[in-house]
């Protein structure tokens, strides 16, 4: 008997207050098999499935009056954000608190970098405080993986440079699954600034792994090199890109990561790639609109489309984000708790 199996059984009812809907959750053959969650790359479809099932079971808890589970009681979670973030940090904080972890936020900005401390020094300093989970975001690709090599706890990548943002992809997948009942076979158009987007990379990996048909729709200046090798269709205009799409996933134009001019003007970008009802005509009538936020209204998406409660799943994404992060926190600390 592997330790994780025991911990899975230990999970449910806490304090006898209510039932955690863990019955239908897919079981893993053994442990989760990953110490950290640094990206979607390296996750098997059944592992993604498991995380999504877990997250699904936490959705209801967030809707109850009493939102607290005791799963991470006594555990310390440090949120280390080198890059400003409101929603992701809040989401991770809420997820940790709903699982009863002691959550500490460190918004480093660039202040300690200015003081000359290197990332590895920061990692070792935090490690000496014995956290159980470290949630980290950094402006450089690979920085969270570097951090993970110098700490003894589980690390969750909350976004590293233009590399990956795995919990965003998981929450997007959960949103799609709950609204459409499946991921496999859907046509999903990811539109906009793919080049600078870690959300796009994680989503491409996850959605193609789960059997969706993924299209990228972007001006050529905002597509990374050789992206067609990732098993996606590439389009350079919205009409063909959105044709018969089940999901339209808009990306934020990330001007803060851009060196020089990638598009001539915001006006022209909106004209060509901004999501409007007119462009949405090409998609399926029940096509769902998603956006990882924060939105630039009038840049990549028209305000009225974003606010359309029948079409837009943007607020669902935010809600499910907490559940997904609870699932990730719980899964990665499972062996730790089993050992305790």
Residues engaged in binding another protein (CB under 8 A): 41, 118-120, 138, 140-143, 145-146, 160-164, 198, 201, 224-227, 229-230, 259-260
Which H or E run includes 217?
Answer: strand 213-217
Q: Measured from the CB of residue 204, what is the shortest distance to another protein in angstroms?
A: 10
Of 58 and 82, which has the nearer Cβ to another protein? 82
For the chain, how far is it from start to end, CA to CA, in angstroms? 16
Of 31 and 139, which has the nearer Cβ to another protein? 139
Dig out the tokens for 338 from the structure.
Answer: 């089993």
Q: Measured from the CB of residue 140, what is the shortest distance to another protein in angstroms?
A: 4
Are 194 and 205 in contact, with CB atoms under 8 Å apart? no
Q: Taken in order 276, 281, 286, 291, is the CA torsion positive or negative?
A: negative
Of 199 and 210, which has the nearer Cβ to another protein? 199
Of 94 and 146, which has the nearer Cβ to another protein? 146
Q: Taken in order 213, 214, 220, 225, is the CA torsion positive or negative?
A: negative
Q: Measured from the CB of residue 196, what is the shortest distance to another protein in angstroms?
A: 9
**Edge-to-edge strand list for the sheet holding 102-107:** 102-107, 76-81, 133-138, 154-160
Q: Measured from the CB of residue 88, what is the shortest distance to another protein in angstroms?
A: 17
Of 207 and 313, which has the nearer Cβ to another protein? 207
For residue 335, whether the previous peptide bond is cis, meaning omega lies within 30 degrees of 0, is no
SS3 content of the chain, % helix, strand, coil (to 5): 40, 15, 45
User: Which of 222, 299, 205 shows the shortest CA–CA distance to 262?
Assistant: 222
Of 161 and 241, which has the nearer Cβ to another protein? 161
Phi, psi torsion values for 318, nearest 5 degrees: -65, -45
The three-class DSSP label of residue 27 is coil
Are 80 and 136 in contact, with CB atoms under 8 Å apart? yes
Q: Measured from the CB of residue 234, what is the shortest distance to another protein in angstroms?
A: 12
Q: Measured from the CB of residue 95, what is the shortest distance to another protein in angstroms?
A: 24
Q: Measured from the CB of residue 14, what is the shortest distance to another protein in angstroms?
A: 38
Dig out the tokens for 308 from the structure.
Answer: 């359309």
Of 30 and 142, which has the nearer Cβ to another protein? 142
């Amino acid at each position: 008997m592997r330790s994780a199996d025991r911990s899975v059984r230990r999970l449910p009812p806490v304090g006898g207050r209510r039932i955690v809907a863990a019955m239908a959750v897919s079981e893993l053959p053994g442990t989760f098999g990953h110490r950290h969650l640094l990206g979607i790359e390296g996750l098997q479809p059944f592992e993604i499935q498991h995380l999504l099932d877990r997250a699904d079971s936490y959705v209801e808890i967030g809707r109850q009056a009493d939102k607290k589970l005791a799963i991470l009681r006594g555990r310390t979670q440090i949120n280390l954000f080198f890059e400003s973030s409101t929603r992701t940090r809040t989401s991770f904080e809420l997820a940790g608190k709903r699982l009863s972890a002691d959550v500490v936020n460190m918004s480093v900005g660039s202040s300690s970098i200015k003081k000359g401390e290197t990332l590895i020094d920061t990692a070792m300093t935090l490690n000496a405080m014995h956290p159980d989970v470290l949630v980290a975001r950094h402006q450089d690709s690979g920085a969270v993986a570097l951090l993970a090599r110098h700490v003894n706890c589980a690390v969750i990548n909350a976004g590293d440079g233009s590399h990956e943002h795995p919990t965003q992809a998981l929450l997007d997948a959960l949103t799609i699954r709950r609204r459409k009942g499946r991921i496999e076979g859907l046509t999903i158009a990811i539109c906009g600034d793919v080049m600078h987007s870690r959300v796009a990379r994680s989503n491409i990996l996850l959605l193609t792994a789960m059997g969706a048909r993924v299209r990228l729709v972007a001006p050529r200046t905002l597509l990374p090199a050789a992206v067609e090798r990732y098993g996606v269709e590439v389009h350079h205009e919205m009409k063909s890109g959105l044709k018969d799409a089940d999901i339209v996933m808009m990306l934020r134009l990330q001007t803060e990561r851009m060196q020089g001019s990638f598009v001539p003007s915001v006006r022209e970008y909106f004209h060509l790639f901004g999501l409007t009802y007119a462009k949405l005509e090409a998609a399926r009538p029940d096509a769902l609109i998603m956006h990882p936020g924060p939105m630039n209204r009038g840049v990549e998406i028209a305000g009225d489309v974003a606010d359309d409660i029948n079409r837009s799943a943007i607020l669902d994404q935010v809600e499910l984000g907490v559940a997904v992060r609870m699932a990730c926190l719980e899964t990665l600390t499972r062996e730790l708790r089993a050992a305790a």
